[in-house]
Structure formats: structure tokens, C-alpha cells
Chains A and B, each alone.
Chain A
Amino acid sequence: MADLTTDFVGIKSPNPFWLASAPPTDKEYNVRRAFEAGWGGVVWKTLGAEGPPVVNVNGPRYGAIYGADRRLLGLNNIELITDRPLEVNLEEMANVKADYPDRALIASIMVPCEEKEWKAILPRVAETGCDGIELNFGCPHGMSERGMGSAVGQVPEYIEMVTRWCKQYYDRPVIVKLTPNITDIRYPARAAHNGGADAVSLINTVSSITSVNLDTMSPEPSIDGQGSHGGYCGPAVKPIALNMVAEIARDPETRGLPISGIGGVTTWRDAAEFLALGAGNVQVCTAAMTYGFRVVQEMASGLSQWMDEKGITSVDEVVGRATPNVTDWQFLNLNYIAKAKINEDLCIKCGRCYAACEDTSHQAIAMSEDRTFSVIDEECVACNLCVNVCPVEECITMEKMPNGATDPRTGKVVDDTYSNWTSHPNNPAATAAE
């Protein structure tokens, strides 16, 4: 089995699976259970400043989106940072770290944007022996109304400023956690980088309302008939997170900046994808909240198995493997011609491909009397919708047309030479092909 030991900005952990700062990491009891279950690291639930802790609502904190069979696809929450006293958290962190020296323990911190506040808390956090800190510039609900969380993460100047203070008053790795509730993730990432951050972690949760109760007309989760936007997470946000990770990984200004990938990691495969796009490790929350801590065992065995199959011996070798393949649309090869192909042996004849193509796409699937479905190459633009709506994996595939064949849709001969929009004759700004 491949070795999953991970070194992320100098912080070692037996595997790249950390629990994100969130409800599962609010107490020593939970964190000990997490480490016993096999998690490589834990980012402790966000600490606030000394003094009376924040309070949480006393009604529901979570709302959800479901797929078939009530499978949880997305969760949102309106829980604030830890509502337990700072000293209790710090003491528990020290206890846990002492008992699990091989695991990563990170303190997540959110205090007001004043230098003295950061200067005050950082030495106390350092005393716990934790391996690093994560600056919570991400939470979109509650604390943002008080000028913290995503209110900071949305202003690159603040990110840079606070990061600088942390680097100044704390001597271990500083990870800056970014909010996705911005227009372009590269700006806050650059700010963190400029401030001296050792790494960024992303994404924090997405501002959201999960549903509306149609009897009471209250958004969910409902607190006495009213709701507030919460932070959305879980499998539904993974595509957003993957893109943001890739954007940072391939941005010339932040390239090489270590990334802790967060957002809907539910299986080993999700984790591998984050790693491939440039994350050095991943953080998980919703999967644990949905299924319990044991899911990490599947993640570890799955990643390890896959690495073995690929002949990869360390997590580092996975990191960034797919990053070079993320490009701009304008550089996609327009000479790559594919056609959908339906495997009749696998087809169960549900006809969803037909309905999708006929109603909403290119009328490129034919249906016979006996419900045999076949692709009309003359019409197929290879949009992939049939593949996406087919309930049977691998039943419909996209097949590349070979060089020299004639595309029956366009009548043009397939040419294997790479050619993109920048040199396309329809592009008014086209440059001559090399």
C-alpha cells in the first residue's frame, strides 16, 4: 500500500486527510475520536478572542439539499465559531496534541481586524504546541456581520494586513482560509501570498439559502419563523472548490503556493482530484458529519490503492498532476472531434438520452420501435449531455474521431493538428496560425 504520509508546509501527518475547522472539531472528545478513526490532522473549530464567547442560535443550525434516496448533497449552516471559552479550547488542544504528536493539529482563529487582538491570541495558541494556524477569513454568516470571517476575506488588503501580523507574531506555518463568496479567487489568494502566508486553504462555505418552508414561508433552517443565509458545503460545492483551487495553482502570481483543498471531499476520488489540481492535502467536514469519522478509512484505502495502481509512491507526486491541463477556453483544441457512442449491451433502454437530446440538445439520438437508441453522427456535436443523464456508467461514451476521417456533421476531414480559437477564422482578433 502506498505511503500516504504528507508534509504540508512542514507539517507532517500520516495521511493528507484533515478534518476542517467546523462542528466536528469543536471539542477534545470529538477530536480524539477523529484521530482514533484515522484522520491525519484536525483544524480545530475556530477560536475567537478572549472574553465572553459567542453565542449560537438555539434552534436549527443546518439546512440540507438531497439527492435520490435522501442522500445528502449539500448542507448549510448558521453556526458561529466556537461558543466555548478560549482557555478551555486551548487546554484541550494542548492535551490532544500531547497525546497525538504524529497528527497535525491546526488552530483556526478569527478575531477582529486589529493588530492587538492578533498579537494577544497568537502566543497563547502557540503554547498549545499546535502545528500551525489557519486564519478564518471565510465564514459567510453571522461573524461577517461583525467585520470578521468573509468580511475580511472579501477585502484583499485586509487579508494581506492580517497575514502579515500573524507572520510577525507567530513562528509556525500560517494558512489563510479563503471565502468563495468573491468574484475572482486569485485576488484574495495573491493578497495572502503577498502577506507572507505559508499556504491558503479553500474553499470556506458558500452563502446560501437551502430551502423555503412553503407552509411558514420561512427560509430553512428556520429560527422562529425566520432564516438567515448560511454557509453551503458538501458534495454540491466540490466543482466550485476544484475550480478555485486550480485557478490559484495555475496563476503565475501564486503558482507554487501550497493549497489545502476543501469543499465537498467525500471519497478518496474527490481527494485525489483536489490533489491533482494542486492541493497539498485536503480538509473534510460534511462527509464526516454525514457518515461519521470512519469514512476516512475508505479515503485512505482508496487513495492508496489508486496510487499503487498508478505506480505513485508518495502523495507529493500526485499534487498538481492535472494542473497543467487546466487552461483557458481559448486554448482548447477545436480540431478535437468526438461523437457519442451508445453501448447497446449496457443500455437499459430508459430513453433519457433520447429525451435530453431531442428536447434540449441537437436531435442526435435515434430511437427505434424496439427502443434501440443510436447516435446520429450527422447531428452529434459531442455535447456530453447523453453521457451525463445516462443512469448506467460507461454505457454512453465520447469517442474521438480518428485523423483523416470525415465528420459527417460538418463534412470536414478530421485533422489531428492542434488548433484553437486564437487562430480561428471566425475570431475577429485571430492571429495567424503558426
Chain B
Amino acid sequence: MANSRLTPGVVAQRLGDQDYSRNFADKDPLLDTHEAAVAADRCYFCHDAPCVTACPTDIDIPMFIREIQTGNPQAAARTILEQNILGGMCARVCPTEQLCEEKCVREVAEGKPVEIGRLQRYATDTLMSADVHPFTRGAATGKKVAVVGAGPAGLSAAHRLAMKGHDVVIFDAREKPGGLNEYGIATYKTADNFAQREVDWLMQIGGITIETGKALGGDLTLDGLRGDYDAVFLAIGLAGVNALRAEGEEKTHVTDAVDFIAALRQAGDFGSVPVGRDVVVIGGGMTAVDAAVQSKLLGAEHVTMVYRRGRDAMSASEYEQDHAASKGVRIITGAAPLRLHGNGAVAEIEFAYTEAGPDGLTLTDNTFRLKADQVFKAIGQTLDGVPAGLELTGRKISVTGAGRTSLTGVWAGGDCAAGGDDLTVTAVAEGRDAAEDIHATLMGG
């Protein structure tokens, strides 16, 4: 512990090793068998259950909880994974408080939903720790499908396609597969290298090859893939980052939150990751929360999240906001950055309060400054490197039906495709559904 919380500047080693291990441990540890039994007993086995309706992957939640109740977590896992092959990760990162658990009738009745997310993790972890892969490949079809992007949508599509007997090659720009699961989610939500373990487990289906370090552009072109494969599924995510458009954005220690989160995930030693004493995160989504909370966990003295709209408009759920607050993150809403001050490195950031009016958000004359030796930008990601020839809707790839793009033989899903809500679970659903459509198309003709 070479430094402390009070050391000025962006430095590593603010905390001791024990602090790091404690801070970055599993946020919601696995339920033990007794806890799972108690939690499962609360499920009413609703008819046409609202939780299922709220789940983007339509997991039969009452059924899997009943399977846990009756002492069969592996059957429960199968029920989950049939609908959502990344059910293990979704159990960790899904904003259940905005999806299944928000609609749970016990949330309505008592303000305390059945702990669906944690029960899902109990089931999927039980199965995965037994190293069981409950699916088998269908007979080989002789068809080849290229999947671009090894994130949730790509992995989900690849698994479903492999199950159907197709040969799948996944290309990914990064060193490791997993996409945002590996690079974009707070460490404490996916402890113990879970993202990679889940990919390894998923690959047990067979028939899938992953080629990392390969992005579209250069040797890998969409035209080339269309020529070499029977179908292409694009799941390239959102590789670009929105600019702040504030004066002084180029100053040192003003970086993208996604890079910080990725670096932290890849760091073998948390103590090696530098963090400022006064950190400001700009944005109101999950990425902002993950960057802010983890800055605090790395030992930053002050961490402030600033969001230009009101609290209600934040895409980070109330649960996430509360979590950030519980870790000591201060949240300021209704303020937008004007300029960053500092001589080379950022030292302060100036904000103006905003006002919502008929013409949208306007800046007021009311300004304030925050001390900041590190600023993270988390104001959204954008589609980057779209191959020519694809129609776009807004800033995303246009799709119809189950992810069909404007090009024959090319499907898209996950964050890069129009529609959806940029959730892991939605990406999984889109990958699965596109795979079914690809399969039907390939085998139908």
C-alpha cells in the first residue's frame, strides 16, 4: 500500500490487498441450499406468471423455482438454459429489479419479490459446478455459419446454431471471447473469472470455433464471410464511444468508462489499477455506475456521478443507484459538463445545471465546479465499423423479424441491432431467435 485514499493524482495502490479482495468479492454470493429452499418456497407458481412475461428470454421462472423447491436444481438449470444459454451470467447482471422481480406478485403484495435472480444463479451454478452440459448437438447439417462478435448475442446464437447441427465460427476483435461479459461488467458482479468459465462451458456443445483478434475490416470482410459461409450473424456490439463535447475533453486522465472497466476486469492485481483521488463520472447508465462504484472500491476518496437529466431518466435502476450510494458515490442529477480545467491533466470540471423545456434540455447560468483528477465518460456507446451495404435505423443496424438485415443471408442482434434495450438478456434472446431463423432459413431452402 504505497499510497492512500488521500494521495493526490491518479495512482495505484491506494488500499491494502485485503481491502481489494473484500471490495471486489462476489457482490451477491451464491445462495446455499438452505437459503435457496427458503427463497424458492416463496414462489406462488403463478398462472401465466408476470415474471415470465417480463423476462426478455421467457424463462419459465415458476417452473424452475418449483424444480429447486423439489430438490432438483439441475433440472431447474436446464429449464433456464433452454431459453437462455447465458442464464448464469444473466443471473448475475440482469437488472431483475426492473424485469422479473419488479413484476413478481410478491413485490406487488409485500414489496419483497421472490429472489428470482439469485435462485437462477443457484440453479445454473449448481449445474455448471457439476460440469454438466445438458444439451447435445443435432445431426450435422453441413451448413456453416459465421458469427461476428463473441459477446452475449454471438455466443447465444452460436450455441443454438451448433445445437441444430451447424458448424459455427465466431470471430471477435478482442483477445478473449465474452464481449461485454468479459470486458464491460463490474468485477464484483462476475467474480472468479465467471465470464470465461461460462464460455468454456458453453463451448462443450461442440461445433463452435472461436477466432479471436479478428474484427471486420482488413482481411475479414462481410462480403468475404457471405461468400464463405451459408449465413452470417453480426453481433458486433457498440464499439464506439460518444464524445463529451465539452471544452478540454482532451486533457490527461479524461477517459472512457468502458476502457476503465475493461482494464479493471483484465487486471490480475487490483492494486495495479490507478485511480484518482477525486473522480467524476459523467453519465447515468450502468456503465457510469460500474465505473463510479469501482473507482470507490479502488480507494478514490471522492466519487461523483453527474447526469444531465433527472433521476427518473437515469437508465441505471434505482437498485443500482442505491448500490452506488451505499458505496459512497455521490449522485448529482440535472447538470451537464461545460468545460474541464487543468494544466495538462484535468483538475476541475465545470458544470451547468440543466432545465427541461419544450425544446429539450437547456443549460442554465447556474454553474458549479467539482474537483476532479480523473474523469470518466459514460455517456453511451455507438455503433462503429459497420460494413457498407447494411441499412441503418438511427445509429443501429436495421433488422426485421428475428434479426434479418437488409442483406440476404445476414442477420444481426445484440446492441448493434436496432430495437432492444442494450441488456445482456435481450442480446441473448436476439441471438437465440436469430439462430432459430437462420436454421429455418438454411434448412427450409
Contact = CB atoms under 8 A, between A and B. Distances in A.
Contact of B47 (A68, A348, A354, A391): A354
A124 interface: no
Interface in A38-71: 68-70
Nearest to A395: B109
A348 B41 contact: no
B37 A352 contact: no
A352 B45 CA distance: 8
Contacts of B38: 69
Interface string A172-183: 000000000000
A391 B37 contact: no
Given A69-B38, A70-B37, A371-B50, A349 B108 contact: yes
Interface residues of A, number: 14
Nearest to B53: A371
Contacts of B50: 349, 371
Interface string B105-143: 110110000000000000000000000000000000000
Contacts of A349: 46, 50, 105, 108
A391 B46 CA distance: 10
A391 B47 CA distance: 13
B319 interface: no
A367 B108 contact: no
Contacts of B49: 351
A2 interface: no
A348 B109 contact: yes
Interface string A341-381: 00000001111101100000000000100010000000000
B219 interface: no
Contacts, number: 34
Given A367-B48, A371-B50, A348 B37 contact: no
Q: Interface extent on B, as a size class?
A: 10 to 19
Nearest to A355: B47
A21 to B, nearest CB: 34
A348 B49 CA distance: 12
B44 interface: yes
A430 interface: no
A326 interface: no
A392 interface: yes
Interface string B24-49: 00000000000001100110111111
B135 to A, nearest CB: 26
B46 A351 contact: yes
Contacts of B109: 348, 392
Contacts of A348: 105-106, 108-109
A394 to B, nearest CB: 13
Contacts of B44: 350, 352, 391
Interface in A273-299: none
B41 A69 contact: yes
B41 A350 contact: no
Contacts of A68: 41-42
Contact of B105 (A69, A350, A354, A367): A350
Interface of B: 37-38, 41-42, 44-50, 105-106, 108-109
Given A348-B106, A352-B46, 17 more contacts: A69-B41, A70-B37, A70-B41, A348-B105, A348-B108, A349-B46, A349-B50, A349-B105, A350-B46, A351-B47, A351-B48, A352-B45, A354-B47, A355-B47, A367-B48, A371-B48, A391-B44
29 contacts: A68-B41, A68-B42, A69-B38, A70-B37, A70-B41, A348-B105, A348-B106, A348-B108, A348-B109, A349-B46, A349-B50, A349-B105, A349-B108, A350-B44, A350-B47, A350-B105, A351-B46, A351-B47, A351-B48, A352-B44, A352-B46, A352-B47, A354-B47, A355-B47, A367-B47, A367-B48, A371-B50, A391-B44, A392-B109
